[in-house]
């Protein structure tokens, strides 16, 4: 089965064509490309038509003229509505759009690509795979905020969590590497990229995560502030800033960018080595915030069986991993610098043999997870209802 995976970001569309299925002679990645999208997120019909011209041509060149058998979409926010992957219908697209206020750029882009794909391949089934779905197992005492209940029931104000697609497949790969059966893994997973989060996983399920109602909460990120006293927002409002200005400030001009003038962790680590005080502060703050969450989530899972680094920074920043590990001695975790600096790109251990539990680097593969989920949904028999199928 040929699965086209569409993974829209705020400034680009990543797409892959994957061959999925045990009966396939050569499963794997056939195409892996990215297309820049408008910075303002305005995906007009002309742009979308051009995008799918490019994708369609690439698929036909690769396969000798074959179209995809199914299309899988990464959707950032599924709210309370979606706890598992869903076939794309007009109702599903409407619900995803309605959740757009929690992730305006991402959800709107996903729906735009769904509609454009339906125009290009009208008979090809499409599946929405949700970043928030893995976190639906978080209990109320961790997902609720200490605000009046009607804010949750009326407005959906609660912790949803993100990066769930990545965390779920990383947990699966971690369990296989450690020989831990599915449903038995206790781990703390740090997905570190321009957006960053850490998740507490107990018995294979998410039980807490650092991102909240939106991806703004939690760790220091590339351009996001992370945890912040809510009174900062009301103070800025009293000083004359409007909601859109505050949103822009906290989501796009804060984090590493606001502290060090760059959102690129590689540049920040290089500048810190040269003694740049802003870069040192940014690196120290990001490492401290992450180490604090790791220690707390070790408690939440009842004692972790593994700490996992994944995502672009987690997989590739030797210096940042080392800085975080230097703070984790009280947990009995110590970095082995030879292992940490290895150029191996697969799953590897970076902690010393004497550490209390292993610290791993596990590559994330969201596109593989989306392709597998898409194939599973498409191959599942449709259940008849009173209205038909």
Active-site amino acid positions: 131
Sheet containing 70-75: which strands, arranged edge to edge?
A: 28-36, 12-19, 2-8, 70-75, 126-130, 86-87
Burial of 339 (0-12, 13-18, 19+ CB in 10 A): middle
Nearest to 99 by CA among 82, 83, 114, 124: 82
CA torsion angle for 11, 109, 71, 197 (degrees, to 10)?
Answer: 60
Give the chain as a 3 state SS string: CEEEEEEECCCEEEEEEEECCCCCCCCEEEEEEEEECCCCCCCCHHHHHHHHHHHHHHHHHHHCCCCCCEEEEEECCCCCCCCCCEECCHHHHHHHHHHHHCCHHHHHHHHHHHHHHHHHCCCCCEEEEECCHHHHHCCHHHHCCCCCHHHHHHHCCCCCCCCHHHHHHHHHHHHHHHCCCCCCCCEEEEEECCCEEEEEEECCEEEEECCCCCCCCCCCCCCCCCCCCCHHHHHHHHCCCCHHHHHHHHHHCCHHHHHHCCCCHHHHHHHHHCCCHHHHHHHHHHHHHHHHHHHHHHHHCCCCCEEEEEHHHHHHCHHHHHHHHCCCHHHCCCECHHHHCCCCCCCEECECCCCCCCEEECCCCHHHHHHHHHHHHHHCCCCCECCEC
Q: State how far the Cα of 255 lies from the Cα of 135, in Å rounded to an integer.
A: 24
């Amino acid at each position: 089965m040929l699965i086209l995976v569409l993974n829209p970001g705020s400034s680009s569309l990543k797409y892959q064509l994957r061959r999925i299925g045990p009966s396939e002679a050569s499963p794997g990645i056939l195409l892996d490309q990215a297309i820049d999208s408008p910075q303002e997120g305005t995906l007009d019909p002309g742009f979308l038509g051009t995008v799918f011209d490019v994708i369609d041509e690439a698929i036909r060149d690769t396969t000798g003229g074959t179209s995809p058998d199914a299309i899988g979409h990464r959707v950032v926010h599924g709210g309370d509505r979606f706890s598992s992957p869903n076939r794309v219908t007009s109702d599903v697209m409407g619900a995803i759009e309605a959740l757009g206020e929690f992730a305006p750029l991402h959800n709107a882009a996903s729906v735009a690509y769904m509609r454009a794909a339906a125009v290009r391949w009208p008979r090809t089934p499409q599946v929405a795979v949700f970043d928030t779905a893995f976190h639906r197992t978080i209990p109320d005492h961790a997902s609720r905020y200490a605000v009046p209940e009607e804010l949750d029931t009326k407005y959906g104000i609660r912790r949803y969590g993100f990066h769930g697609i990545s965390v779920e497949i990383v947990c699966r790969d971690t369990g296989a590497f450690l020989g831990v059966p599915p449903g038995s893994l206790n781990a703390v997973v740090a997905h570190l990229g321009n957006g960053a989060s850490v998740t507490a996983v107990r018995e294979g399920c998410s039980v807490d995560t650092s991102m909240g109602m939106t991806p703004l909460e939690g760790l220091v990120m590339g351009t996001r502030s992370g945890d912040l006293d809510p009174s900062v927002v009301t103070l800025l409002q009293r000083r004359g800033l409007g909601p859109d200005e505050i949103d822009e400030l906290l989501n796009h001009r804060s984090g590493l960018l606001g502290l060090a003038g760059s959102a690129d962790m590689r540049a920040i680590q290089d500048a810190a080595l040269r003694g740049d005080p802003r870069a040192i502060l940014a690196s120290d703050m990001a490492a401290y915030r992450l180490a604090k969450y790791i220690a707390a989530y070790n408690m939440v899972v009842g004692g972790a069986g593994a700490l996992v680094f994944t995502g672009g920074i987690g997989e590739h920043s030797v210096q940042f991993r080392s800085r975080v590990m230097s703070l984790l001695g009280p947990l009995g975790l110590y970095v082995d610098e030879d292992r940490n600096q290895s150029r191996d790109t697969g799953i590897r251990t970076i902690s010393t043999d004497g550490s209390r539990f292993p610290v791993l680097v596990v590559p994330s593969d969201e596109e593989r997870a989306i392709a597998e989920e898409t194939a599973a949904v498409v191959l599942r028999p449709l259940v008849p209802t009173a209205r038909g199928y």
